[in-house]
Amino acid sequence: MAGSNGAADGAGRALPANPFWSATPPPERPRPTGDGAPFSLVDLLARFRWLVIVPVVLPLSFLWAALHSARTAVAARRRGPATEAVHAARVAAVQARVRARDPTADGRICTARQSFWSVSTRDGAYKQAGSPFPVDLSALQDVVDVDVERQRVKVEPYVDMGRLTAALLPRGVCTPVVPEYDDLTVGGLINGYGIEGSSHKYGLFSDIVESVDVVIADGTLVHATRDNEASDLFFALPWSYGALGLLVAAELRLIPVEPYMRVTYYPVRGTLRELGVAWERLMAPADRPWSEYVEGLIYDSRHGVITVADYASEAEAKAVGPVNRMGWWFKPWFHRYAETILNSSVDGAPRVEYVPTRDYYHRHTRSLYWEAELLVPFGNAAAFRWLAGWLMPPRVSFLKLTMVARLWEYYNTKFVAHDVLVPLRHTAACMELMHDTYDIYPLWLCPHRLFKTRRGTMLDAEPGYEHRVPLAPGDSPDAQMYTDVGVWYTPGPILRGEAFDTAAASHTMEQWLIEHHGYQAMYAISELDEADFWRMFDRTLYAACRAKYGAEGVFMDVYYKVGRKGASASAQAKAATSTGKAKRA
């Protein structure tokens, strides 16, 4: 049994002993093995890609980001303040463009935004299918109004999380869910998927939305809330990836926040099943209020660190301490810093520190979680952090812009990036699946409430979960607790020089998800065919809204945007476009 080691909470009370630290480490779980892969010169060159990335790509990426920031600032000055009148004029321009489309001659509507701006591993091939009709939304990138008293913020779809948190935190408020990367846009997070460590309390990013404004196929502006006449569109929009209309504004909920986070690190040791129990009990404790943020970092089949965090005042942070300003460029990467706490622990005693709130929100940004280690293997070394850490991270948009298609396809065969959402009770089984299928570590654990809608939304809680007696940990009558298991890296067999089929492994994982009422975040490359896609997701409300709001034949169906990877997705998108034109003829 672990002692408290002097760690205390914000009130100075000693933390209880950590019951999730096995005195004797269990045996390692057997790793998947395969035959040796044939020698590949490309693989050898890829292993030393840092020789180009460090002296060339990182500086160019930094300059690219600086230039983009400067251009954005100049454009913002030219646009002036985003008043309601200015915003209305921008929306009117979008409506006029949509109405200018000739349904007998023009292809499907898509945004004019270049695909490389998307923080996604997909190629955006659907935008080149047929004769697309682009609509420019680039003017819609401002915070329109912040109402601290009502705790609401109105934003345009291309506002990114970096700008949003910068606008809100000085006012002492923020959105309850703050996805990690600065470049993630509000529109992408609502139409797609967004999560953070606070999602066990507030749900996904789309769950903090109070209203949306959507330009539909005929150019009409529809204002949708969860309880007005367009509530069907409100509930159908998340995970539709723009297949129902063009999002032009959203009102988001706000909460009061403090300038610091009190972060507690719990080292955990045991089998993956035992780590799953630790995750359940630290995330949804029965004997105390839930923490504001929870995150799990699983480093191998026996060890991990689970962090919980709560807002704290500046007075508390300075009086209690210690304060870790981890946002500085020379600071250790967060996942490696947490690992040092794990490695130095002899009894699993929790450790407490205070972190500036914005630093905590973006704690994984410099290292792109741990994906940056593939680009710069020594990136967390002190010498690199001090000398070149200010160049991190390489911008995903720059990497996508400068990478040739064949090289991008090569990386897709050597790299895995998936967020999978599973009922909390399946977390341990999912970790075992990831170990046996990919042998990738660390694994990221993030809890979230999946609110029960029973409206045929693409995602919904398991049928009948609310009738279990007693309710499962974290469940409530209106929401079921899920875990996002993030797996991002090169599979272990590939790192060991063994033959490995990433597509087959992903197919295995996706079939397991379907069988366990799980979901796959569709920013990633998928092996789902159309039938399996609609086994995983419920198309009932989505299809009804496609018909009601005239999206059929005007906006690309969601599957053809996010379905099977590479040429298959392109071919299916082109086929869908050709079929639509043939029908019109």
- Which residues fall within 8 angstroms of residue 131, CB to CB, at 6 or more apart? 106, 107, 577
User: Residue 120's pLDDT band (boundaries 50, 70, 90)?
Assistant: low
pLDDT at 72: 82
Instruction: Give the residue extent of every domain in the chain.
Output: 82-257+403-416+493-585
Q: What is the pLDDT of residues 355-388, one digit of tens each?
A: 999 999 999 999 999 999 999 999 999 999 999 9
Of the candidates 276, 240, 570, 297, the residue with the CA atom closest to the CA atom of residue 425? 276
Q: What is the pLDDT of residues 99-113, one digit of tens each?
A: 999 998 889 998 887
Tally of CB atoms within 10 A around 35: 9
Tally of CB atoms within 10 A around 100: 11
Mean pLDDT for 137-163 is 95
DSSP state of 35: P
CA distance 376 to 216: 44
Of the candidates 489, 545, 554, 559, the residue with the CA atom closest to the CA atom of residue 217? 554
CA distance 98 to 87: 17
Q: What is the pLDDT of residues 300-321, one digit of tens each?
A: 999 999 999 999 999 999 999 9
The encoded tokens of residue 293 equal 């943020």
pLDDT at 520: 96
Q: Is 549 helix (H, G, I), strand (E, B) or coil?
A: coil
Instruction: Specify which residues 223 forms β-bridges with.
Output: 213
135, 246 contact by CB (below 8 A): yes
The single residue listed with the structure tokens 């198309």 is 539
CA distance 522 to 419: 8
| Average pLDDT taken over every residue of the chain | 89
User: Residue 64's pLDDT band (boundaries 50, 70, 90)?
Assistant: confident
Q: Is 374 helix (H, G, I), strand (E, B) or coil?
A: helix
pLDDT at 524: 82
Task: Give the H/E segment covering residue 135.
Answer: strand 133-135
255-261-263 Cα angle (round to 5)? 130
CA distance 544 to 179: 30
Q: Is the peptide bond before 25 cis (omega within 30 degrees of 0)?
A: no
Instruction: List helix spans (H) across 49-157.
Output: 50-52, 58-79, 84-99
Tally of CB atoms within 10 A around 43: 14
Mean pLDDT for 549-561 is 94
Tally of CB atoms within 10 A around 540: 15
518, 532 contact by CB (below 8 A): no
Q: Is the peptide bond before 26 cis (omega within 30 degrees of 0)?
A: no
Tally of CB atoms within 10 A around 257: 22
Q: What is the pLDDT of residues 39-53, one digit of tens each?
A: 888 788 788 888 988
Q: Is the peptide bond before 393 cis (omega within 30 degrees of 0)?
A: yes
Q: What is the pLDDT of residues 241-258, one digit of tens each?
A: 999 999 999 999 999 999
Alpha-carbon distances, residue 391 vs 300, 482, 562 (angstroms): 29, 36, 32
CA distance 253 to 243: 24
For residue 402, is pLDDT > 50? yes
Which CATH number, 3.40.50.300, 3.40.50.720, 3.30.465.10, 3.30.1490.270, labels domain 82-257+403-416+493-585?
Answer: 3.30.465.10
Pairing of strands 260-269, 209-215: unpaired
Task: Give the H/E segment covering residue 267.
Answer: strand 260-269
Task: Give the H/E segment covering residue 433.
Answer: helix 427-437
Give the length of the chain: 585
Q: Is 112 helix (H, G, I), strand (E, B) or coil?
A: coil
Mean pLDDT is lowest, of 476-480, 487-491, 581-585, for 581-585
